[in-house]
């Protein structure tokens, strides 16, 4: 709900605050006072195209700003947060500030929740917040998608099974599309898939023929390096062993003997000093360690292969075979093995194409049959709901001085789609004998506003938008028809906030709050301001609208009578 609209330097309005509340708000004023600037301000806040000509003469820019109160979780709040808006939160909801400025040079800026945003964001929010009726390019239900959505919500209210059936249909439809696409791919790419399977088979046969093992390439590389340096390894290990244990020398200077000598020398005096005793123990440990290393070196030297050329040739041949695989399939042997495992799974999938095609074909045909059955159910419910909606709206049109007009809801069989198998159109038949035409064509602005008012009154309980704005809704009518327009606006206002710009007192009498736009002229300037009327001022304004004489006792008595009749008629 819009709580307040602030306008500055827009048209003839220098600066005004338009206080709004729940229910029906009426804006009235003399011709040229600037009533249309209220609708213009709302349009700017909805992201409509800006016009430098709307900027007040002498001003640098015009501004429109609105404070909107919405319940927690409303889609508009979520979209505003995505745009970076700052919200003023309270229990159960939040306040959102929308603003638009238009410079005298035609440049426009938009703000949501204090953050600068593209004008398109205002348009996105506006679709969820406000509906403006008055001109043919402002019809909420002008698109086929919006008409289908409105009828579906009405149908869901009339038949509780509709929403469940539609949800099941849409879920099955998505699966049907996916299966059908897979089936087409299998059929259309059968030759390519066959070639892919043959290529994979040859590659896997080559890999299996070599039979690489995990880490084998690195292991062979290490062994090749070892064998290429075999003589150096033999000399080093032999000399190191002799340095530890010199078995062939009479006077040994090897490490083992020297450590053992040092240990015995310390053991002789170990009882005299604990520190030397500890050193002797550590030397004993070193002796054991040197003996172990010597044995390992002796074993290593004995294990060195004497047939080095034959083994090196064998290793290089094997590495060559592995290099071919690495060059063809992956950077390393381990990755070649991973590629082979994935390729085996892919080959199994490709080899089972005929079975998959048969299974998918059966699934697609079964799903299609189920979809057709559910689509027929949806069509039946929509047809019944469409007939009811058409009758209710047509009855409303009769009361709105369009007695021969009818809303025609047309369902035409269509290809199976995500929403069913219907093309839905809302058409207006303005009088007997006339061909039904799409909404917005063949009707004046006032007639179109009344048509949309009739539709919105019927749909208000099932397809609400927080705020409706009607301009020219009473164009070309008066008397009893005007009273009926006011009554239906009040009916709509029981569900949503309604703002109406009008010149008819019969309509204004139904207002929950009455706002007057007053023009003031002076030396070289004209300006307007906006006033929220109290009960006394409201009677005077209705008297002015009735007779042009707001101080006339007779006109005021008539105005008071209108108010009383409206209060009783709105109940």
Number of folded domains that form the chain: 3
Residue 149 in contact with residue 140, Cβ under 8 Å?
no
- H or E stretch at 272: none
Q: Which residues of the chain have pLDDT under 70?
A: 134-139, 247-252, 305-306, 352-354, 440, 442-446, 463-464, 472, 521-526, 569-571
> At a CB cut-off of 8 Å and minimum separation 6, what does 397 contact?
403, 405, 406, 407, 450, 451, 454
CA–CA dist 49, 471 (Å, integer)? 18
- pLDDT at position 57 is 83
Asked if residue 44 belongs to a domain, the reply is yes
Q: In DSSP terms, which residues pair with 94 in a beta bridge? A: 70, 89
Residue 85 in contact with residue 110, Cβ under 8 Å?
no
Judge if 88 and 205 occupy the same domain: no
Residue 126 belongs to domain spanning: 1-142+463-531
- pLDDT at position 250 is 46
Judge if 256 and 134 occupy the same domain: no
Asked if residue 16 belongs to a domain, the reply is yes
Boundary residue ending a domain (351, 382, 404) = 351
C-alpha atoms less than 13 angstroms from C-alpha of 104 in its C-beta half-sphere: 7
Judge if 101 and 55 occupy the same domain: yes
Judge if 333 and 296 occupy the same domain: yes
The model's pTM is 0.63
Q: With the CA atoms of 261, 265, 271 and 272 taken in that order, what torsion angle do they form, in degrees rounded to the nearest 10? A: -150
CATH (domain of 88): 3.40.50.300
- pLDDT at position 134 is 64
- H or E stretch at 412: strand 406-417
Asked if residue 404 belongs to a domain, the reply is no
């Amino acid at each position: 709900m819009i709580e307040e609209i602030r306008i500055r330097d827009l048209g003839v309005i220098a600066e005004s605050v338009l206080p709004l509340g729940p229910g029906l708000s009426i804006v009235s004023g003399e011709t040229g006072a600037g009533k249309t600037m209220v609708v213009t301000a709302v349009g700017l806040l909805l992201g409509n195209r800006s016009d430098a000509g709307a900027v007040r003469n002498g001003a640098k820019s015009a501004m429109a700003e609105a404070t909107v109160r919405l319940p927690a979780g409303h889609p508009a709040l979520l979209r505003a947060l995505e745009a970076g808006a700052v919200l003023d939160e309270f229990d159960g909801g939040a306040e959102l500030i929308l603003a638009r400025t238009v410079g005298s040079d035609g440049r426009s800026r938009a703000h949501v929740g204090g953050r600068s945003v593209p004008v398109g964001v205002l348009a996105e929010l506006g679709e969820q917040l406000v509906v403006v009726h008055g001109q043919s390019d402002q019809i909420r239900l002008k698109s086929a998608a919006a008409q289908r959505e409105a009828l579906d919500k009405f149908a869901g209210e009339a038949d509780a099974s509709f929403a469940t059936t539609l949800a099941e249909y849409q879920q099955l439809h998505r699966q049907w599309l996916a299966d059908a696409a897979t089936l087409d791919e299998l059929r259309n790419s059968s030759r390519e898939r066959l070639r892919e399977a043959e290529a994979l088979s040859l590659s896997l046969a080559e890999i299996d023929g070599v039979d690489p093992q995990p880490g084998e390439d690195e292991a062979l590389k290490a062994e090749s390096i070892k064998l290429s340096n075999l003589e150096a390894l033999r000399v080093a290990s032999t000399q190191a062993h002799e340095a530890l244990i010199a078995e062939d020398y009479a006077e040994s200077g090897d490490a083992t003997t020297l450590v053992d000598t040092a240990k015995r020398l310390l053991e002789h005096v170990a009882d005299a000093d604990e520190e030397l005793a500890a050193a002797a123990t550590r030397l004993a440990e070193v002796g054991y360690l040197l003996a172990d290393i010597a044995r390992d070196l002796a074993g290593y030297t004995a294990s060195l292969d004497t047939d080095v050329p034959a083994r090196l040739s064998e290793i290089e041949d094997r590495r060559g075979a592995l290099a071919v695989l690495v060059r063809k399939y992956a950077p390393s042997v381990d990755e070649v093995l991973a590629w082979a495992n994935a390729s085996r799974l892919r080959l199994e999938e490709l080899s089972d194409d005929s079975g998959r095609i048969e299974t998918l074909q059966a699934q697609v045909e079964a799903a299609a049959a189920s979809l057709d059955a559910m689509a027929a159910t949806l069509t039946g419910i929509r047809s019944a709901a469409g007939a009811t909606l058409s009758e209710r709206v047509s009855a409303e049109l009769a009361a709105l001085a369009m007695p021969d007009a009818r809303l025609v809801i047309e369902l035409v069989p269509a290809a199976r789609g995500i929403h069913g198998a219907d093309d839905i159109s809302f058409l207006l038949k303005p009088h007997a004998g006339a061909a039904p035409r799409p909404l917005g064509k063949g009707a004046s602005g006032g007639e179109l506003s009344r048509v949309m008012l009739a539709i919105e009154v019927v749909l208000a309980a099932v397809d609400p938008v927080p705020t409706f704005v009607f301009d020219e809704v009473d164009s070309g009518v008066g008397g009893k028809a005007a009273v009926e327009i006011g009554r239906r606006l009040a009916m709509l206002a029981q569900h949503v906030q309604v703002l109406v710009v009008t010149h008819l007192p019969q309509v204004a009498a139904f207002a929950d709050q009455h706002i007057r736009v007053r023009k003031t002229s002076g030396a070289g300037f004209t300006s307007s301001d906006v006033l929220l009327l109290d009960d006394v001022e409201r009677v005077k304004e209705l008297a002015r609208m009735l007779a042009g004489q707001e101080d006339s006792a007779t006109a005021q008595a008539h105005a008071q009578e209108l108010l009383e009749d409206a209060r009783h008629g709105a109940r």
